[in-house]
Amino acid sequence: MNLTDVEPKENRSISYNNIPPSIGVSTHLDTLPASPQTNLKTNYYKVYEEENSTLFRSLGYYKDIEEDNLDSHKRIKTLVLSLYRERPDFDDYITPRTYELIEDIEDDQDTEQKIISFESFNNFTDFLTKNDNLIIPSFIVTYEGNIRALWRKSRIQHLAVEFNPDDTNTYVIFTPNPNNTGKVMRSTGTIDKERLYQVVVSMGADEWICR
């Protein structure tokens, strides 16, 4: 993990030239979608459960999903809907956004785009459910099929995380330095979910990415 102070620049976006290669292979980190929109809310939970009642019963009501012989996208749909009970706010953005990404990938003729990794998606949602005070971030899928999430309040309050299939997270964070007015702290690295949240708190970023 690397932690440094950087000078904020006026009227320009933050440069990501120094981000480790593993975090910026496809879509540029500062081109992620804007903050989640509540008008995306759709009752996917009821619709999908009604359409797949046999599947849901066979899963023992969402248990041991990773052990079932389902393709990655169907497993992801089942997982995100099962998490509705733990985080009902998923229905506002996470669920419809997930369905949107799956549809786009399955309709896309781009042979370089891999399907969404179930392991990466599970890593992402696990981070949100275990730290349920976190604001829901915007997110995209990389060409490798990993989930990349963004929490952004301003150009100097910014956390981007790529959730890897191996339960690690490659991140970059910018946040104001409370001990040095006018300075911005920057940290990058690849760590597990528990340590990632500890970094967020230790840098004071929980003040703007938590509810």
Query: 44-57, pLDDT tens digit by residue?
Result: 444 444 444 444 43
Give the pLDDT score at 42.
39
Rounded to whole angstroms, the Cα distance separating 39 from 82 reads 22
Other CB atoms within 10 Å distance of the CB of residue 136 = 18
- Helix/strand/coil for 89: helix
Rounded to whole angstroms, the Cα distance separating 183 from 46 reads 48
Query: 118-130, pLDDT tens digit by residue?
Result: 999 999 999 999 9
Give the pLDDT score at 96.
93
Main-chain dihedrals φ then ψ at residue 194, nearest 5 degrees: -65, -45
Query: 165-194, pLDDT tens digit by residue?
Result: 998 999 999 999 988 888 999 999 999 998
Rounded to whole angstroms, the Cα distance separating 3 from 160 reads 15
- Helix/strand/coil for 54: helix
Query: 27-84, pLDDT tens digit by residue?
Result: 334 444 444 443 343 344 444 444 444 444 334 434 444 444 358 999 999 998 888 8
Query: 4-25, pLDDT tens digit by residue?
Result: 555 544 433 333 333 333 333 3
